[in-house]
Structure formats: structure tokens, C-alpha cells
A and B are shown apart, each in its own frame.
Chain A
């Protein structure tokens, strides 16, 4: 099992606004790890720091003891597979070809049949064999999601990261995909790290929950029973919540939302700083954040 250790990882696009702060985590056992937390708490940012899509402002990430800053993207890709939030692609191929791209690191001359078989298995697992010849961009959002997950699975890495793998899926497939990822982790002895928004599904199927809270810090790490308590959920999510035991795993029943997020603009100085002519001009020419290249949402 590959061991991934995050030590005091902080990341921010500007020095004074860190998105995640001092995050220390260890992924050294196989299983389904679910990252939970409210919007904007840095869940996606955190997973992108794990495989150097984003470069932490401070702190280190190591894979089997090696700092990822000393590894190339090609090196890291042998350990960590990644399924981003799925979108349309500029030049879409068929579903089969799209998933075949996931075999990029395995493809050799004449390995086609092995790769095709792997792709076929993944399609079978996600129940999309019938879509094999369809154009990727002609699919629905839920189908996109399944194709993306299949592309992640065929990468056959010891660690697989999925950013919201159940987004856009109906309830049956939310449960199915989550079960699948749990089963896959158990069967293959790999670590599957997902970002999730459904607390009940997560509470049932996760081996381990990593709960993030504002301002981008780790709030709790542990089993669902340890993390999914009334107090924790109410503190982190700001929603009234009852936690009941259902066959040994926690089930959450939600009450009213406690919306007390502070969006007031009392600090006129800071508010003003983000607007106006000079500030936009400054932003337009700002090039001081050189150590990372984040992809613009297009």
C-alpha cells in the first residue's frame, strides 16, 4: 500500500488568503476515504494539492516518503489517479476511446487487447457498456460522471482520487457508485479518496471520514461513528441535525439551517480593496503568484 502523508499543508492563491491551512493527514491503509465539509472550505483544493495539480504554499506532501516536489507529474501519476469534476470536452471522442485515454500510462505496443479488456471491465462495472460507441459530449451529465469514473478506475493506481463522483447521479447510482468504490478499495487493497456532499451515504459507506471546517482546516478524522455526531455536523455545516443509530451506522435527520455565515461588509477597507478601477488594474497585471498554475474555469 502506498503511503501518502500531508504535513502542515497550506495553500492559497494569494499569500494573505489561504484556502486550506496547516492540513496534516495520513493515507496509509486501503479503504474508502471521504472528505466532507461545507462549500468553499477547500475540499477540491486539498485533493489537488495531493497530486501537485496545485503546489502548496507551505508544508509538504510525500508519497512513500518522497516529496512530490521532487517528483514529476509522470512519476506521481503512477501512484495517484484523479477524476476531476466532469465536464464536456473540447474535442470529444467515443466513450470507449475516452476511457482508453485513462490507460495512457499502461499502453505499450501491442497492449491494445489488455487495455480494451480493462476498459470493458470498467464499463461493465459502471453499467455503461452500451454507451461504448457514443460520442462523449452527447451524453447526459450522469453518464459523463460514470465515464469519468471508469477512466479513473482503468488507471489502476494504488490511490484513486475522485472529486464529487456522485454529482449528477440519481439516488440509485449515488449509492451504487459509493458501494462500488468501497468494494473496489477492499478488493484491490487501494485507497479511494472522494469528495462527497451526501452525509448519509458517506456515514454509511466510508471507512474513514475527513471532515474539513472553515477556515480550511481539518476538523475531525475518523470512522463514521466517531465523526458523524450531532455536535460535529451542527458545528461544521450549520444545520440542525439528529443522529440516530441504524444497524450500527449513523443516520442523519436534518432540521433547520442555521445560516449565520458572516457576509457583512463592515470592514469597508477590505471590501473596497476588492473593487474599483485601480484594484482591477492591479489584478490584471498581477503576476506575483508564479508557483502554481491553476486552470481557469472555462
Chain B
């Protein structure tokens, strides 16, 4: 093997020889290194703090939203009631019924729904390298709509029923399967995937609309409510399903967060760093499809949270997926119950669907943040 001696290389200028020659020497006494590590750690600490703040906030907001409703429950009373129920020491049966049976499933379900959709949004945006991607870009929403419409038309009955949810879940995965088929056949580039998703969405939406045209007004009303997205249908029996799927989804997302960071540098450099970008995109698509389908099956189409929670969180802590995934998840959960709380109070005793509020409040907030931020993010 050829041996070189840097100092003998007459072509190289002094500054280069010095810079490269010192490469292997420790730089620990370099003040710049200390400063760099310090800033790195400080930035990371801020990210942890942000996640912690969101966690505390979500508990407080959850407590507050329990107080909202026709039966008045105090803020502290809400926690007390939950504590009493958990310890099996129910004091006030009426408060217990209102908190535990009526309000809590809605709130916990809402948190999990927001969590799941937001994490799916992060994963989707990264794998498709597109800030406009969200869980619905995969056609999940249109598939779920069609599934719900079909099952309701065929079997009648109320939304939130198990077979309604099952129909929505199964059909939500159909577009994902079609998309994977298309990308397998053609070329798994990110843009192809988005285009395929949008194409499928239009087809499914057309089918849904056609079916709705031949429906009685009662079923149509039910479908419509579901399409707007609502937490009305959540009950204790369904929560384990959502919770298990969402939690598993989040754990997987956290495990692959380092890979997502590499994937975000582009397909070619991701492959060069050892990640099969095409394969990973397909697995991420399956993950997002299953998690968002599980959420959508019970809550209907709550848009926006999957798109916006990741973006707002990025404004605060940047794009490192290791932190973005938990932070955006918790933030999404919080966004969901805040929007729901507003929906329940704004036209009390009428309930405005959470999906409507989410878009109505979230939209302007998002625009304001977009305009207000000095950092160049996208």
C-alpha cells in the first residue's frame, strides 16, 4: 500500500497541512469544542423541557376540559373524582358517573387520537419529504369514508358501532395497499406516492358521494357528522383498541426516528448511509396507514392535526425526529382536546364537531406562526 507523508507534499499549502495533520490529535482543550457541546446540550435540554411542558399542559388541560358541561364539576374535583375512582373509593356517585363514564373517555380518546394523527403526520412528512403530507395523503380518509358509508348503507345502524368502525378501518387500508402496489410496480419516489394517494382519494370520494346521493337523510346526517370528525362516539370499550395501536405506533416511530432523520437528507444519501429508502418508505406507509385508520375508524375524519401539530412543534424545537415525534404527538393530543373543549362551549349546549373547530382555530394560528417566525424552516 502506498504511504504518504503530508509534510513532504509540496503541493499542499501550510494551512491545509496543519489543519489535516492535527486531525487525529485530541481537541479537548479547544474552547470552541466546549462551547459547541454546551450549546448542543442546551438545545437538547430545551427540547426535553418542551416535551415536559406539553405533558404537564395536557394534564392540566384535560382536567379543565372535564369541568366543561351541563353538570358543574370543579377543576380540582375532576382530579379528585378520577383518583377516587382509581382507588376504588367513590364518594360522589353522580360526579363519578359524569366524570368517569361521560367525559373521561371522550378526553382520553381525544388525546390518543391527536397523538396518533400527529405522529403519523411527522412520519408521513419525513418519508415523503413533503411539508404538505399528512396521514390523509395516503388516501386513508377517503378509504375510511367509503368504508363507513358502505357499512352504514348496507347494515344501517349508528356510527361508532363496532362494525361501522371495522368497515372504516378495513377500507382505510385499501388505498394504502393500492399505493404500495403502484409504487412497487413503478418507482417508489416520494412524489409518485403523493400523486398516487391523491388519485386514489378522488376515486374513493366520488364513490362515497355517489352512495350518499341514494341515502335517506338520517343516514346522510350520521355520515356527514362522521366525515367532519367528532369525539362524540368514543366510549370506554373502544379506547383500548385506539390506545394499543397508537402506543405501538409511537414506539415504532421513536425507534426509527434516527433512520427518519437520515431519510430526510434525500434518498441517495440515505442509501449511501445504509438505509434502503424505498423499502423504508413502504414500511412507514403501512405504519401510518394502520395507526391513522385505527383512529379515524372511531373518530371520523379529523383533519389538520396531522398536518399542523408537526409544523407548529417544528417551529419550537426544530426537525430532529427523535424529539419531534414525542413532542408533536403530545402537542397533537393537547390540540385535540383544546379544540374539543372549545367546540363544546362555544355554542353550548350545542356541540360543534372537533374537526370544524380544529380547522377554524388551528388555521389562523398556524398562519400567524408561519408569518411570525423569523427562522427559515421549509
Instruction: Please indicate the chain B residues that have their CB under 8 angstroms from the CB of A101 in the complex.
Output: 261-262, 265, 273
- Quick check: A125 and B319 within 8 Å, CB to CB? no
Does A182 lie at the interface of the complex (its beta carbon under 8 Å from any beta carbon of B)? yes
Instruction: Please indicate the chain B residues that have their CB under 8 angstroms from the CB of A121 in the complex.
Output: 23, 27
Does B191 lie at the interface of the complex (its beta carbon under 8 Å from any beta carbon of A)? yes
Binding site for A on B (CB under 8 A): 1-6, 9, 11-13, 15-17, 19-21, 23-24, 27-28, 30, 32-33, 36-37, 39-40, 43, 125-126, 129-131, 185-192, 258, 261-262, 264-269, 271-278, 314, 318-320, 375-378
Stretch at the interface among A15-23, A129-137, A215-223, A254-262: A129-137
- Quick check: B320 and A116 within 8 Å, CB to CB? no
Does A271 lie at the interface of the complex (its beta carbon under 8 Å from any beta carbon of B)? no
Binding site for B on A (CB under 8 A): 1, 29-31, 48, 51-53, 72-78, 80-84, 87, 89-94, 96-98, 101-102, 104-105, 107, 113, 116-117, 120-121, 123-125, 129, 132-133, 135, 137-138, 155, 161, 176, 179-180, 182-189, 204-205, 249, 287, 293-296, 298
Q: How far is the CA of A249 from the CA of B15 in the complex (A)?
A: 21
Choice from B19, B130, B267 contacting A295 with Cβ under 8 Å? B267
- Quick check: A51 and B271 within 8 Å, CB to CB? yes
6 tightest CB-CB pairs across the interface, nearest first?
A: A77-B274, A82-B272, A186-B4, A74-B274, A91-B319, A90-B129
A220 to chain B minimum Cβ distance, whole angstroms, is: 20
Q: How far is the CA of A124 from the CA of B278 in the complex (A)?
A: 35
Q: How far is the CA of A185 from the CA of B192 in the complex (A)?
A: 40
Q: How far is the CA of A161 from the CA of B9 in the complex (A)?
A: 22
A83 to chain B minimum Cβ distance, whole angstroms, is: 8
- Quick check: A87 and B266 within 8 Å, CB to CB? yes
- Quick check: B274 and A138 within 8 Å, CB to CB? no
Q: Beyond A31-B2, A92-B377, A135-B377, is A53–B268 a contact (Cβ under 8 Å)?
A: yes
Q: How far is the CA of A77 from the CA of B275 in the complex (A)?
A: 9
Choice from B20, B32, B186, B319 contacting A187 with Cβ under 8 Å? B20
Q: Beyond A30-B1, A82-B272, A93-B320, is A176–B16 a contact (Cβ under 8 Å)?
A: yes
Q: How far is the CA of A161 from the CA of B32 in the complex (A)?
A: 29
Q: How far is the CA of A116 from the CA of B375 in the complex (A)?
A: 24
Choice from B13, B262, B278 contacting A179 with Cβ under 8 Å? B13
- Beyond A91-B264, A298-B129, A298-B191, 17 additional pairs, beta carbon < 8 A: A30-B4, A53-B268, A73-B276, A81-B272, A82-B272, A84-B269, A91-B129, A104-B258, A135-B318, A161-B272, A182-B11, A187-B4, A187-B20, A293-B187, A293-B277, A295-B189, A295-B266
Choice from B24, B125, B267, B278 contacting A91 with Cβ under 8 Å? B125
A159 to chain B minimum Cβ distance, whole angstroms, is: 11
Q: How far is the CA of A228 from the CA of B36 in the complex (A)?
A: 44
Show 15 residue pairs from A and B whose CB-CB distance is below 8 angstroms, ordered by the A residue: A89-B266, A90-B131, A91-B126, A98-B265, A104-B261, A113-B37, A117-B28, A138-B375, A138-B376, A176-B15, A187-B23, A293-B189, A295-B267, A298-B129, A298-B190
- Quick check: A97 and B320 within 8 Å, CB to CB? yes
A186 to chain B minimum Cβ distance, whole angstroms, is: 3
- Quick check: A91 and B314 within 8 Å, CB to CB? yes
A170 to chain B minimum Cβ distance, whole angstroms, is: 16
Q: How far is the CA of A184 from the CA of B17 in the complex (A)?
A: 9
- Quick check: A73 and B271 within 8 Å, CB to CB? yes
Q: How far is the CA of A72 from the CA of B279 in the complex (A)?
A: 12
Q: Beyond A90-B129, A107-B258, is A76–B274 a contact (Cβ under 8 Å)?
A: yes
- Quick check: A179 and B269 within 8 Å, CB to CB? no
- Quick check: A186 and B275 within 8 Å, CB to CB? no
Instruction: Please indicate the chain B residues that have their CB under 8 angstroms from the CB of A102 in the complex.
Output: 273
B198 to chain A minimum Cβ distance, whole angstroms, is: 16
Closest to B15 in A: A176
Instruction: Please indicate the chain B residues that have their CB under 8 angstroms from the CB of A120 in the complex.
Output: 27, 30, 32-33, 36-37
- Quick check: A183 and B6 within 8 Å, CB to CB? yes
Q: Beyond A77-B274, A155-B273, A293-B188, is A184–B20 a contact (Cβ under 8 Å)?
A: yes
Instruction: Please indicate the chain A residues that have their CB under 8 angstroms from the CB of B4 in the complex.
Output: 30-31, 185-187, 189
- Quick check: B272 and A92 within 8 Å, CB to CB? no
B86 to chain A minimum Cβ distance, whole angstroms, is: 35
Q: How far is the CA of A133 from the CA of B30 in the complex (A)?
A: 18
- Quick check: B273 and A96 within 8 Å, CB to CB? no
Q: How far is the CA of A122 from the CA of B143 in the complex (A)?
A: 49
Instruction: Please indicate the chain A residues that have their CB under 8 angstroms from the CB of B15 in the complex.
Output: 176
Q: How far is the CA of A94 from the CA of B36 in the complex (A)?
A: 12
- Quick check: B20 and A82 within 8 Å, CB to CB? no
- Quick check: B273 and A179 within 8 Å, CB to CB? no
Instruction: Please indicate the chain A residues that have their CB under 8 angstroms from the CB of B36 in the complex.
Output: 96, 116, 120, 123, 129, 132
Instruction: Please indicate the chain A residues that have their CB under 8 angstroms from the CB of B126 in the complex.
Output: 90-91
- Quick check: B318 and A104 within 8 Å, CB to CB? no
- Quick check: A183 and B191 within 8 Å, CB to CB? no
A143 to chain B minimum Cβ distance, whole angstroms, is: 13
Instruction: Please indicate the chain A residues that have their CB under 8 angstroms from the CB of B17 in the complex.
Output: 183
